[in-house]
Chains A and B, each alone.
Chain A
Amino acid sequence: MDFSKISTGEETEVRLTGRLEFTDHDRLRDIVELVEHPGTQRFIIALSELEFIDSAGLGMLLILQEEAESRNVKMIVRGARGDVKRSIDLARLDEIITIEP
């Protein structure tokens, strides 16, 4: 998985590309740091270019959600498609995380 970020004042958008899976756990720390960035109020995770997510990847989204929640940051997962969308729907993450098309 690779990611890039776009920060505009109170909003930080992180775009994930490639595959988000078990082996990416070490990189999670870098994304969590973006949530911790002072002044961030909305945290968007854009998945439109993500090709694949496994259960460990879904776990990472849950960890990010908790990190955001504990800092009063609103997290939104946006633009999942194909198999990624299917995995997120199957796991019903929309009950815990705000998912946008």
Chain B
Amino acid sequence: MAAPALSLSDCRVLIVDDNEFNRKSLALVIRRAGISDIAFAENGREGLAAVDRFRPDLVLLDVDMPVMNGWEMCEALRRNATHEELPVLFQTALDSDEEQVRCFEAGGSDFISKPIKPGECVARVRHQLEKRKLFNDLANFRERVQRELSHARAMQTSLLPEKRRLAEVADRYGLTLDAHFETSSELGGDFWGLYPLGDRRLGLLLVDFAGHGITAAINTFRLHTLIDRFPMQHAAPSQWLAQLNAALKDVLPTGQFATAFFGILDLATDTLTFAAAGSPNPVLGIPTGAGGNGPEIRLLDSAGLVLGASRRAQYVDQSFRLPRGGFLFLYSDALIECGGEEWGPLGQDAVPDFVRDGLARDRVHPLHPMMERFYARTNLPLRDDLTAVWLARRA
């Protein structure tokens, strides 16, 4: 079944014709089709002025006119970007193929043969106006969605630690902190945060919701409101993660979940204690003594039931030494799963060398060369959201 006809009562039509009888009879025909807002012009030059003044939704344009003919007027219209999409229906007594093709070459949308047949005329006018209406609706909708997505994106970015805050925390705890965050579409499902717990302890969280786009982004907002509900100060990372898991299980539909790393760095005891829920393996680097070949770098075990999948999930704490000069590198799975044509994805096992290479290029801020190298080998836009966090204790 055809869709119900759109109302054309709010459409404006400009009739350009040097013959008064033609102007009147065309107006009569389209008035019957429900269009009452009609303006007239007697040649192409007047027509161009009328387009700017009257802002029609459609022009019915005669070809043969004095001063400026229809083809010339249409070409002038199309040179003006504002009127690129304005439908122009030629009405022409010319019936040779060449002359009719000329109407399209001049930028016309279609033509009606003279003498005007009322039924055909209304049908073609209606067709052009409906097309324009649908196109405008779509363009407006697209514009609105873009606007809302960019607001949402700003909101999402505001959940993450700002540069200034990173610098503050880095200074307070004697750290080097660098972070990178990029979403695959306007919105993403990654989230990370830093949580000072007194003068010598710092919490570090990285969460990656399954999927990306709007659903995943909404989950990061959910998470953000949940985090404050569970104080980190006196909980082991595993307990804290279990609480977060239970809360997420209550709000997430089946099939939506998150991988997570939550660690607490204790500067007084040089210890990193963390619990993980299936995040990619974090990289830990420990400085070796004088004469060593750079730091000892290892991938940490981060297996764990993803957050929000089961109320019964249990998490395990692991502790490692993280002395001065040591570092921790966290990242979401885009780093190891996104690749390009020439190079496949990096893969989990290659991450230690990837870090070594970054350190060789910039010993203090290796995240920057690491990201450069990642983007050099990866197709854009990314298929998944990328978060990478570099935390090193100053020597």
Tell whether A59 pairs with B305 under 8 Å between CB atoms, given A54-B384, A90-B278, A92-B278.
no
Residues of A within 8 A of B383 (CB): 21-22
Q: Which residue of B lies closest to A63 (CB)?
A: B255
Q: Is the CB of A91 within 8 A of B384?
A: no
Q: Give the docked Cα–Cα distance between A27 and B305 (Å).
A: 25
Hey, what's the 0/1 contact readout for B351-385 against A, CB within 8 Å counting as 1? 00000000000000000000000000000000110
Q: Is the CB of A59 within 8 A of B257?
A: yes
Contact with B348, one of A55, A86, A93, A95 (Cβ below 8 angstroms):
A86
Hey, what's the 0/1 contact readout for B260-293 against A, CB within 8 Å counting as 1? 0000000000000000001010000000000000
Residues of B within 8 A of A86 (CB): 348
Hey, what's the 0/1 contact readout for A31-64 against B, CB within 8 Å counting as 1? 0000000000000000000000011101110110
Is there a chain A Cβ closer than 8 Å to B212's Cβ?
yes
Give the residues from 229 to 277 in chain B that come closer than 8 angstroms, CB to CB, to chain A: 254-257, 259
Q: Is the CB of B310 within 8 A of A58?
A: no
Contact with B309, one of A83, A90, A96 (Cβ below 8 angstroms):
A96
Q: Is the CB of B306 within 8 A of A54?
A: no
Hey, what's the 0/1 contact readout for A57-99 against B, CB within 8 Å counting as 1? 0111011001000000000000000010010011111011000
Q: Give the docked Cα–Cα distance between A58 and B348 (Å).
A: 18
Q: Give the docked Cα–Cα distance between A93 and B211 (Å).
A: 17
Q: Is the CB of B302 within 8 A of A90?
A: yes
Q: Is the CB of A91 within 8 A of B255?
A: no
Is there a chain A Cβ closer than 8 Å to B186's Cβ?
no
In the assembled complex, the CB of B187 is this many whole angstroms from the nearest CB of chain A, namely 14
Is there a chain A Cβ closer than 8 Å to B193's Cβ?
no
Sorting the interface of chain A by its residue count into under 10, 10 to 19, 20 to 34 or 35 or more gives 20 to 34
Tell whether A55 pairs with B211 under 8 Å between CB atoms, given A63-B254, A91-B259.
yes
In the assembled complex, the CB of B311 is this many whole angstroms from the nearest CB of chain A, namely 11
Residues of A within 8 A of B255 (CB): 59-60, 62-63, 66
Q: Is the CB of A59 within 8 A of B278?
A: no
Q: Give the docked Cα–Cα distance between A91 and B337 (Å).
A: 16
In the assembled complex, the CB of B96 is this many whole angstroms from the nearest CB of chain A, namely 51
Q: Is the CB of B303 within 8 A of A56?
A: no
Tell whether A54 pairs with B254 under 8 Å between CB atoms, given A90-B278, A92-B278.
no
Q: Is the CB of B210 within 8 A of A55?
A: yes
Tell whether A96 pairs with B210 under 8 Å between CB atoms, given A55-B259, A55-B333, A91-B305.
no
Q: Give the docked Cα–Cα distance between A63 and B254 (Å).
A: 6
Residues of A within 8 A of B347 (CB): 83
Q: Give the docked Cα–Cα distance between A40 and B280 (Å).
A: 36
Is there a chain A Cβ closer than 8 Å to B163's Cβ?
no
Q: Give the docked Cα–Cα distance between A62 and B303 (Å).
A: 17
Residues of B within 8 A of A91 (CB): 259, 278, 303-306
Is there a chain A Cβ closer than 8 Å to B313's Cβ?
yes
Q: Is the CB of A95 within 8 A of B305?
A: yes
Tell whether A54 pairs with B333 under 8 Å between CB atoms, given A59-B257, A63-B254.
yes
Residues of B within 8 A of A54 (CB): 333, 337, 384
Tell whether A56 pairs with B211 under 8 Å between CB atoms, given A63-B255, A91-B259, A92-B304.
yes
In the assembled complex, the CB of B306 is this many whole angstroms from the nearest CB of chain A, namely 5
Residues of B within 8 A of A60 (CB): 255
Q: Which residue of A lies closest to B256 (CB)?
A: A59
Residues of A within 8 A of B257 (CB): 55, 58-59, 62
Residues of B within 8 A of A21 (CB): 383
Report 15 cross-chain contacts, Cβ distance below 8 Å, ordered by A residue: A22-B383, A55-B209, A55-B257, A56-B211, A58-B257, A59-B210, A62-B255, A62-B257, A89-B303, A90-B278, A91-B259, A91-B278, A91-B306, A92-B278, A92-B303
Which 7 pairs, one residue from A and one from B, show the smallest C-beta to C-beta distance?
A63-B255, A91-B278, A55-B210, A59-B255, A92-B305, A59-B210, A56-B211
